[in-house]
Structure 1
Amino acid sequence: MAGYITGDDPKTLVSTAWLAAHLNDPDLRVIDASYYLADMGRDARAEYVEGHIPGARFFDIDEISDARSSLPHMVAPVEKFMSRMRAMGVGDGHQVVVYDGMGLFSAARVWWNFRLMGKTDVAVLDGGFPKWTAEEHPIEDMPPIVRDRHMTVQRQAHLVKDVTQVAQASKLGDWQIVDARSPSRFRGEEPEARAGLRAGHIPGSKNVHYASLFEADGTMKEGDALRAAFEAGGVDLDKRIITTCGSGVTAAILMLGLERLGMQDVSLYDGSWAEWGQFDQLKVETG
């Protein structure tokens, strides 16, 4: 495992102060990747229209996905991702900063999406839109001026796992499977929000609730404090990891944290519990 990444890093995480200082850089592209669960009662696109970081484009996680899949917001085919980014004016040579309206929730999913497509100059805004507005940085309600930009994509297949690969990892134990859901959902003590899903977790998986990676102000922990959050869940940071959650969103927060800890051998289970929980032939553990 390589060394910790701390402070501003344009490949993982940047502060609101960093973004404020670079907001007018010609090759900076800001993306609002806000996404809310149904029970949150919030409309991500409507909130974006009402106010966003100047120049920000809106990334619709449900629309920029694989329409062929019945599972929620599965990663988009390469061609679709490229065309949507071109339409948003995001392409080669751009430094991308992704944020969301929760602080640090869905932005990491879009960060991982870019990484999967081979784009490394992308960072999550630490503390997100809540921290940006609390510090009275500027916002606007104007749509951005968009100019087409070509994007070259090289899909990094090692960053994603499918259900067959995860089932094998669960059986063989050659990968650690780390679940970002809340402890009560992990243990199967509360019903799943999506209809038809069993309660519980993938056999042999470990639980590191994504919220345990945050400081009290909603920013991500650093260094030893971040490492301790994983170790508290029984994770061995010297062994390779597959992250999972409810539908592949908060699993990306774990990936972001692991990247900050210098881990290289990490993949995300895109189908996550929305897939695993619906198939009776896949074993489930509770407790």
Structure 2
Amino acid sequence: MKRGTKLLVMALTLVFTMSVFTACKTTEKSKKENNLKKISTGDLEKNINKSDWVVVDTRENDAFNGWKLDGVKRGGHIKGAKDFSAAWLSVDSKNKEKRLEGAIKVKGISPEKNIVLYDANGKDAIVVAKYLSSKGYKNLYTYDIKEWANDEGKPMESYENYQMIVTPSWVKDLIDGKNPEGYAGKGYKILEASWGEEKDSPDYLKKGHIKGAVHINTDYVEKGPLWNRLSDKELIKFAEDTGITVDTTVVVYGMDPMPAARVGAILKYIGVKDVRLLNGGTAKWEKAGYELEKTSNKREPVKSFGATTALNKGYIVDLSEAKKILADKNNSKLVDIRSWDEFIGKTSGYDYIKPKGRPAGSVWGHAGTDNSNLDDFRNLDNTMRNKDEILSMWKEGGITPNQRLSFYCGTGWRAAEVLLYADAMGLKNISLYDGGWNEWSGNTGNPANPIEVGTPKK
């Protein structure tokens, strides 16, 4: 070897060695700064049920719900784990810190506890650890969920119908012809839903939409003044005009999950067997790094839906059935999915609904601060909230999964989203009271129904 070449090799070797040393030193420094320690499966198993330990799933909520992501053998989460997704920390929201602090409190993540943060990509746990460390948390551990999931004897939990709340990667695989988990292979449609025609929709053409998606104006499935669903005949015609049969896999989504859920619930009502809501909507699709297209995709009709009347009529009920639910006080609940101020009659929530209050005997099921959000049922990134937290929230109001539950709101949007979440959770005897407060209040000529205002008496 020539002397010049030998010196060059020695110099490169020295640079490489120093780089490795610096990287290792940086990693160790980072771990030290974040007070991070790795925990073994054995030690995790030994401590998991202790009151001074809390196990936290830092992955996307889709994985927590049940999807097998990032090469994990089994979907779902470690039994008893709480969720605090690293994705929440990158959301741009004016009330972000308040909601994060609220989530920490609800999940029992406190500084005096030993906190195990697990992920599957080696990144999410570090992100959450840095955040907690900045808040003064010290007893932080990291863990790779793949180790736990590889052992069939280790308990994991998933939502019974988690596949209803679908991931961006699942939709991308569907578009790319990869036959993702649970897809029956009988054709699919992707619907971007919002109020207004395509030309007036800021979400469809201006911002863009998922490849192949068609725009659905919610007026195609409901009409005023009550804003109840159309007749079965009209809804089946809508499905046929949109190219949907009872066997079509339908993915509904939008910038706001509410109108998408409204369309999805109505499709389930008429009998579409496989309806899926994109968890987190358009924002999560973009966050995953997938492109949006701005071309106009027209609906392509089919000759027959496969049925001439709604096949799942109990999924959406009307006024007479809502009254029967209220009368059955021991086994049924009419659940109000409106803000507290709407429930107690401080506001009607709508400029076109004058009466204030609630159907007498209904119970508050939570919602958000006003009729534009569902923060009590969504995480910071608009994904579905933890099932256990929803059930716990309901339990405080005497709402339990074994009861017959019918959800209502003002005109059906908020309650439809909660209905789909309850369905994904595995609740059985559930429905949407379509008319909601708009119908019950007599806003359009039906004033005979009993109304309550104020805080309910215990």
TM-score (norm 2): 0.55
What displacement does 1:181 show? 0.6
CA distance, structure 2, for counterparts of residue 64 and residue 240 of structure 1? 26
Are the structure 2 counterparts of residues 229 and 44 from structure 1 closer, same or farther at C-alpha, using a change threshold of 3 Å? Answer: farther
For structure 2, the residue ranges without an aligned partner over 5 or more in a row are 1-63, 68-160, 178-184, 368-373
Given that 1:35 and 1:100 are in contact with CA atoms closer than 8 Å, whether structure 2 keeps it comes out as: no
Are the structure 2 counterparts of residues 194 and 11 from structure 1 closer, same or farther at C-alpha, using a change threshold of 3 Å? Answer: farther
Please say if 1:247 is aligned against 2:414. no
Deviations 1:20-77 (A, max 9, x none): 22223382210011238xxxxxx963432322111111122123335xx6312x2122
Letter of the 1:126 partner, please give it: N
In structure 1, the residue matched to 2:449 is 282
What displacement does 1:208 show? 1.9
Given that 2:189 and 2:251 are in contact with CA atoms closer than 8 Å, whether structure 1 keeps it comes out as: yes
Letter of the 2:258 partner, please give it: F
CA distance, structure 2, for counterparts of residue 285 and residue 152 of structure 1? 43
For structure 1, the residue ranges without an aligned partner over 5 or more in a row are 37-42
Are the structure 2 counterparts of residues 217 and 192 from structure 1 closer, same or farther at C-alpha, using a change threshold of 3 Å? Answer: closer
What displacement does 1:186 show? 0.9
In structure 2, the residue matched to 1:45 is 201
Aligned pair count?
A: 273
Q: Tell which deviates more after alignment, 50-59 or 170-179.
A: 170-179
Are the structure 2 counterparts of residues 44 and 172 from structure 1 closer, same or farther at C-alpha, using a change threshold of 3 Å? Answer: farther
What displacement does 1:226 show? 3.3
What displacement does 1:130 show? 1.9
Greater share of strand residues, 1 or 2?
2
1:7 to 66, 82, 86: 66
What displacement does 1:89 show? 2.3
Secondary structure of 1:130's aligned partner: helix
Letter of the 2:65 partner, please give it: T
Deviations 1:151-181 (A, max 9, x none): 1135122122211221233244252011111
Given that 1:13 and 1:126 are in contact with CA atoms closer than 8 Å, whether structure 2 keeps it comes out as: yes
1:158 to 300, 314, 321: 314
Letter of the 1:188 partner, please give it: G
Structure ID, larger Rg: 2
Given that 1:99 and 1:128 are in contact with CA atoms closer than 8 Å, whether structure 2 keeps it comes out as: yes
Given that 1:29 and 1:94 are in contact with CA atoms closer than 8 Å, whether structure 2 keeps it comes out as: yes
After TM superposition, list the pairs within 5 Å mapping 1:38-187 onto structure 2. 45-50=201-206, 51-65=208-222, 70-72=225-227, 74-102=228-256, 104-144=257-297, 146-149=299-302, 150-153=304-307, 154-155=309-310, 156-173=312-329, 174-187=331-344
Letter of the 1:131 partner, please give it: K
User: 1 or 2 for the larger relative contact order (CA 8 Å, sep ≥6)?
Assistant: 1
CA distance, structure 2, for counterparts of residue 221 and residue 180 of structure 1? 15
Secondary structure of 2:229's aligned partner: coil
| CA RMSD across the alignment | 2.4
TM-score (norm 1): 0.85
In structure 2, the residue matched to 1:39 is none
Letter of the 2:189 partner, please give it: R
Are the structure 2 counterparts of residues 196 and 118 from structure 1 closer, same or farther at C-alpha, using a change threshold of 3 Å? Answer: closer
Deviations 1:168-218 (A, max 9, x none): 332442520111111111111124314353111111211122321211221
CA distance, structure 2, for counterparts of residue 235 and residue 188 of structure 1? 21
